[in-house]
Chain A
Amino acid sequence: MADYILEMRGIEKSFGVPVLKNVDFRLKKGEVHALVGGNGAGKSTLMKIMTGVYSKDLGSILVDGQEKQIHDTHDARKNGIGMIFQELSLVPTMTVAENIYLGEEIVSKGLRDTRYMNRRAGEVLEELGIDVDPQAKVSSLSVGLSQMVEIAKAVAKEAAILVFDEPTASLSEAETRQLFKMIGNLKEKGVSMVYISHRMSEIMEIADSITILRDGTVVHVGAIADIDLDGIIAHMIGGTSDKKFDWVERKIDKSGADILTVEHLKVNAQIEDISFSLKKGEILGFAGLMGSGRTEIVETLFGLRSKMAGTIKLKGAQINPKSSKEAVDAGFALIPEDRRQKGLVLIHSVKENAILPIVSRLRAKGIFVDEKAADQIVENNIRQLNVRTDGIDKRINLLSGGNQQKIVIAKWLNMSTEIMMLDEPTAGVDVGAKAEIIDLIRGFADTGKGVIFISSELTELMAVCDRIMILYDGRISGELERKDIKTEEELQYAIQQK
């Protein structure tokens, strides 16, 4: 019997730039091992190598003391490694039992043995303490229960190692409790688990040991009993804080009238009592963990969700945008989190994307679009935002992530935008473009407009915001003036508090 059920030694991986540098990771049998690190520290990459989604450049993986080659997810499963994906991988139109046995149906006499599979699935669910009818359709289950079924699916396939990637992000408090109970059950059965989360309180509660990654290297390994929250945060942030994004204190007229006032906004049952205001020229940051409600709030302001209660005032006048068009007409802009899904029409050109919101206002004679003016606007955007492209007619999906994002922002600079809301605007953007985008946001705010800036990257929030609002589970849990925040650790600490 080996000391470790799973051992990763000297793992290296690079996507052009090195992402993992000589990483060792060791998992004991029957333990819950927390994997912690900031965005881009390499957690997900390491786990994707373990579960066969990516291949490693160097290093070795040992399962039960024996070296194994894991080339794809199938190899991983053969070795008893299962991953619980953030995006659920269940087929909603099929039953729970059908999903559990998907791809490995039990067959007798050439037909699916439905009765056996239903019974066996029922047993697995009961063992795990999941109260679900194996014959229920997955589409009828809550997100929380679906996640439990996903776990049952891995357990039914006799996974000895389970990887959880932010499992509680979309779960309610009660569902989280149930998940933890289940993790406890699995532990007793000798299943080993890797638990990735940004929620330190959860990690302190459920994990036995911890590995902390920073910039692709392991900076700390140990028992959870030997470390506290401050210690974890110190290791995560360390001394390598990105010096590229320096904060520049900006002058804001605090005595002036609010450009935006939101009072007691209720988005849904989870997200309520959201009140804040924004001054002319101010950049307000929204900080919080995944699932804290940041995106939902800006989507509500943008008319994409209907609010259940509360008031929104733009320059003192109450507004109630019921569609994105009404919000845009009022002067709102939203740079959405998912650039490819929501920000761009990938099969269209740079020009078509950049002029999409404004095209109905670009009229030369009668009803026709003024193409010359449109070309000029886009040419200007490209010059001013330093977009690297062969021309305005190039297909947008051929541009790099950073240049694509500049075009998404350009869409709204071309409009008479009063309030720009940016949801994770630098995700998947290289460092150079990141700095440019941050400058752009500052420049926009300097013209007396308002900015709401959402980011999971604390360095960025610290660099660009004048004030940071902290959200926790759909409520405002704190608010900090930027000049009162001395270190990133302070901010990280604040985010973890209820």
Chain B
Amino acid sequence: MQSNKSKKGIQWDKYMVYVIFVVVFVLFAVVLGDEGFLNPNNLINILRQTAMISIMAIAGTFVMAAGQIDLTVGSVTAMTAMIAALIIQSTDNIILAVAAGVGFGCAVGMINGLLVTRLKLPAFLATLGMMQIVRGAAMWITDTAAVPIGNAAFNKIFGIGSVAGIPVLILWTILFYIAGILLFNKTAFGRHTLATGGNEMSAIYSGIKTAKVKVIAFTMSGAFAAFAGIMYAGRMQAGRYSYGDGDEMSVIASVVLGGTSMAGGTGSVIGALFGSILMGMINNALILAGLSSAQQTMVKGAIIILAVAISNLTQRKKER
């Protein structure tokens, strides 16, 4: 009996997100059923709205499992949307627009990685600075003017279209998650990432180039954020400097809710998906319940604190 109990205690952080997910879902279904929470359109809407956060949370899991943090993702979505919109506007070439946008994301991620590994800056400060630079650049490039996207194909593929009744945003999310889960759980790189975050010294003594692991994780994070930016652009049919404002916090909260420790060394990609949908669900419920956007923001903040508190508690349980 006793050993059963302690086993549950160790596993609690792994399954926490699913338990909370089910509890919150049932709660909303009962309380907000009359407001249309369970309406299939509403549920699909939740998934659509969280698609960008969900995709960024995949790479966020790698970054945080490696013991790092990336605050640039929100601003990268904005700058990528601007780049893609401007290229569509001038050349009408979708492939060029996507390649340039993702290339930009990779570049920002790589710079983050090099700042952390070469200049030994703490990830928090390096990406905080980069966040400001990128956000500023997104404002500066058109002097804060929005850039409409007239290419219907682009908008359909990345934002508003659907295949067999399933919105493309959800299809992209599924595609990225399959890739992310395989990469994290099934490849040597996933193991190296966890070892880097779990005990960098041991990883180095095991012949792993931990600096390379970190640079790849940051580059991935930039690339995934760039793709999320392209999705924002497609969905809104325009590039705007204000996209993704505060997304970095939502991503971190999703990843931590999903069972990835802030200290690194543990992580779950599928957990991050549930974490992000959980956040989207709560958002949606707050709107249905008639809360103002000011009130929503406050609740979001409370969720982040809760997520980190639970992460810390389970961490402490482990140390005991």
Contacts and interface: CB of A to CB of B under 8 A. Distances in A.
Interface of A: 302, 304, 323-325, 327-329, 334, 336, 341-348, 352, 355-357, 359-360, 362-363, 367-369, 371, 395, 411
Contacts of A395: 10
B110 to A, nearest CB: 20
Contacts of B206: 324, 328, 356-357, 411
Given A341-B201, A342-B201, A347-B318, A356 B187 contact: no
Nearest to B204: A324
B205 A336 contact: yes
Looking at chain A's contact residues, the main secondary structure is mixed
Please name the 10 residue pairs, one residue from A and one from B, whose CB atoms are nearest each other, closest first.
A328-B207, A345-B198, A360-B188, A345-B199, A368-B186, A356-B206, A357-B206, A342-B205, A359-B188, A325-B207
A334 B318 CA distance: 29
Nearest to A367: B187
A325 B210 CA distance: 10
Interface stretch (B78-86, B119-127, B158-166, B189-197): B189-197
A344 B202 contact: yes
B187 A368 contact: yes
Contacts of B205: 302, 304, 324, 334, 336, 342-343
Contact of A356 (B201, B208, B265): B208
A348 B182 contact: no
Given A369-B186, A369-B191, A345 B204 contact: no
Interface string B228-265: 00000000000000000000000000000000000001
Given A325-B209, A328-B207, A329-B207, A345 B202 contact: yes
Contacts of A357: 206-208
A179 B151 CA distance: 78
B196 to A, nearest CB: 9
17 contacts: A324-B205, A324-B206, A329-B207, A342-B201, A342-B202, A342-B204, A345-B195, A346-B198, A347-B199, A347-B318, A348-B195, A359-B188, A360-B188, A362-B188, A363-B188, A395-B10, A411-B206
A346 B266 CA distance: 12
A108 to B, nearest CB: 37
B220 to A, nearest CB: 15
Contacts of A347: 198-199, 265-266, 318
Looking at chain B's contact residues, the main secondary structure is helix
Contact of B203 (A323, A345, A346): A345
B207 A327 contact: yes
B287 to A, nearest CB: 39
B182 A324 contact: no
Nearest to B187: A367
B182 A368 contact: yes
Contacts of B203: 345, 356
A142 B199 CA distance: 28
Residue among B187, B205, B209 facing the most chain A CB atoms (10 A cut-off): B205
A360 B192 contact: yes
Contacts of A325: 207-209
Given A343-B202, A348-B198, A356-B195, A324 B187 contact: no
Contacts of A371: 186
Residue among B188, B202, B204 facing the most chain A CB atoms (10 A cut-off): B202
Given A356-B191, A369-B188, A324 B207 contact: yes
A184 B265 CA distance: 50
Contacts of B191: 352, 355-356, 359, 369
Contacts of A344: 199, 202
Contact of A345 (B182, B207, B209, B265): B265
Contacts of B10: 395
Contacts of A342: 201-202, 204-205
A325 B212 CA distance: 11
Contacts of B201: 341-342
Residue among A324, A356, A360, A368 facing the most chain B CB atoms (10 A cut-off): A356
Given A345-B198, A360-B192, A323 B186 contact: no
Nearest to B198: A345
